[in-house]
Structure 1
Amino acid sequence: MTTANSNYSIRDEIRDYWSERAETFDQSVGHEIFSKAERQGWQRLIRKHLGEGDGRKALDLACGTAVISHLLHDLDFSVTGLDWSDAMLAQARAKAQKRGAVIRFIAGDAENTLEPPESYDVITNRHLVWTLVDPPAAFDEWFSLLKPGGKVLIVDGNMGKETWVKNLQKLWTRIVGKQVTGPVSPDMAERLQKIRERVYFSGEMPAQAVADLLEQTGFENIVIDRKLSDIHWAQARRMPLMRGLDRLVQERFAICASKPG
């Protein structure tokens, strides 16, 4: 990684970080889906806010290995998955080929997709907004891509907010002098933290702050949905105790908003 290059930006760092995570991305609970209960939870959430696909065009931004893309495909959306990481897209294409799913995958920046205006009925993304360098510009882009009456569904969380579980883990580390291990190596965790310090939501990202930006963009009928317990319970059951407990107490949410018709 050539961070000494003056043209190497925070966006490049984000792309390269997730490219290095691509090969093992689907091994982590919370990324890939490992149970029928979790899959049903995701399908319930999508149906609740977006309805059945009925062939409508969906753009899954920062699709990664295409977990959400496949959920949309299974609900009969015509899906395009966009990601800036070629490594992630390689995993996504291989998965789609293996499953026989017809999903279009393209390389692109979620803040500047280069897709035609008013070309999608719905836009989805999971754990993308907290990584954005310029959310207002990104939301303007998404607004322009939606057809009148189209919807965006954001699934994310206030990742910068310390939970009591995290604080307990830090106390344990001070007492025993041993770091609680996470899903990535300490080096990768440090890289991610340095990225977090430089994005727009470098601290906390409460749902209302995201909703306010969507409203300023022109979106309407904005709904903040915190009822994701079926998804999180299914994930927590497959995690180590402390990680699972933290998943249950984190401030995670979905936000659905509409472009005026």
Structure 2
Amino acid sequence: MEMRNRDLKEDIREYWTRRSATFDLAFGHRIPPGPELDAWAAAVRQAIGPAPQRVLELACGTGEVTNVLLSLGHEVTALDFSEAMLGVARAKHAGNARARFLLADAERTMELDQAYDAVICRHLVWTLTEPEQALADWFRVLKPGGTLLVFDGDWTKPTPIGRIASLAVRAIERFIGHDPYYDGAMSEKHADIMTRLPFSDGLTAERVEPLVAAAGFADIRFPSHRPIAAAQRRNADLRNRLRTRFYRRFVLTASRPRDIDGPDLNALPQAEGRSS
């Protein structure tokens, strides 16, 4: 298992490293100013409150969610295990004293116990090779009363409406051509990685909830993702508006209780590398 995960994580790292130069061109990744940035900011504010906090951002990529957090006044430690992704993020936020970027493993952050008010990630959980280990580590670094905020989705199969939307996009692309940035132009590599992940058959809110609870989190909730999707559609063309209908996406919030400890990390298999 350890060797398999090491090889898998290296494949994941290589995939995201290759995508780093053009990732901001992919619809659904960049968070432009205006309605979409406002919607993401509202979701974060609702989850962790309006006061500036110390936030650990996992799998920060090119620093788009980092920008949301900084716009709200938070102090952000943003980690990624792709040096290329971090290079883009560092350049984007150069000179901002409230942003710190680290090359690190999101499944084993190596950050101090109870150091953060909030732990936040977008589109990371589906890539985890050891989800139990990761969730236990995120619990560990949160202060009692701290918040876990996850944005993710089931990227393995479209919804019934998504299947219709996908057919419509294919029809549109017969006339305007394929968008090379939407799937990173490496869909075969992406598909191979997905088949080897624990969530290879899909990540759903119903599936992740018991794992979060087993890690020690409480007050698990699922705020609506609809305001973000609606904001994405505001200034998008028809093809991209249809893309927001493809998959079932979700938002998860949970808290570390103030008076109990989490699982014993030493009892869990130790993962190496990083998922981004």
Percent sequence identity is 37
Question: Shift in Å at residue 116 of structure 1?
Answer: 1.0
Provide the residue aligned with 1:74 in structure 2. Answer: 71
Unaligned 5+ segments in structure 2 are 259-276
- The aligned counterpart of 1:218 is 216
Answer with 142-151 or 161-170: which moved more.
161-170
Instruction: Tell me if the contact between 2:166 and 2:242 (Cα under 8 Å) persists in the aligned partners.
Output: no
Q: For 1:20-42, what per-residue CA distance to the aligned partner results, in whole angstroms no more than 9, with x for missing partners?
A: 11111112221111240001101
- Are the counterparts in 1 of residues 31 and 65 from structure 2 also a CA contact under 8 Å? no
TM-score (norm 2): 0.83
- Preserved CA contact (<8 Å) 1:14 1:195: yes
Return the match for 1:131 from 91, 105, 127: 127
Question: What RMSD, in angstroms, separates the aligned Cα atoms of the two structures?
Answer: 2.8
The one of 10, 16, 19 aligned to 1:18: 16
1:29-58 Cα offsets, whole Å, 9 max, x none, are 21111240001101110111101242x210
Aligned match of 1:232: 229
More deviation, 165-174/228-237: 165-174
**Paired letter, 2:117:** D
Is the Cα–Cα contact under 8 Å of residues 119 and 145 in structure 1 kept in the other structure? yes
Letter in 2 for 1:80: T
Instruction: Look up the match of 1:200.
Output: 198
Unmatched runs of 5 consecutive residues or more in structure 1: none
Change (3 A) 1:84 1:242: same
How is 1:89-100 mapped onto 2 (pairs within 5 angstroms)?
89-97=86-94, 100=96
> Does structure 2 retain, via aligned residues, the 8 Å contact 1:117–1:146?
yes
Q: Which has the higher contact order (CA 8 A, sep 6+)?
A: 2
Where 1:112 maps in the other structure, the secondary structure is coil
Taking a change above 3 Å as real, the CA distance of residues 245 and 169 of structure 1, as seen in their structure-2 partners, is closer
Q: In 2, distance between residues paired with 1:68 and 1:185?
A: 19
2:178 is aligned with 1:181? yes
Corresponding residue for residue 246 of structure 1 = 243
Q: Does 1:145 align with 2:138?
A: no
Structure 2: distance between partners of 1:173 and 1:123? 35
C-alpha change, 1:120 and 1:6, in structure 2 (3 Å) is closer
Distance 2:253 2:17 in 1: 28
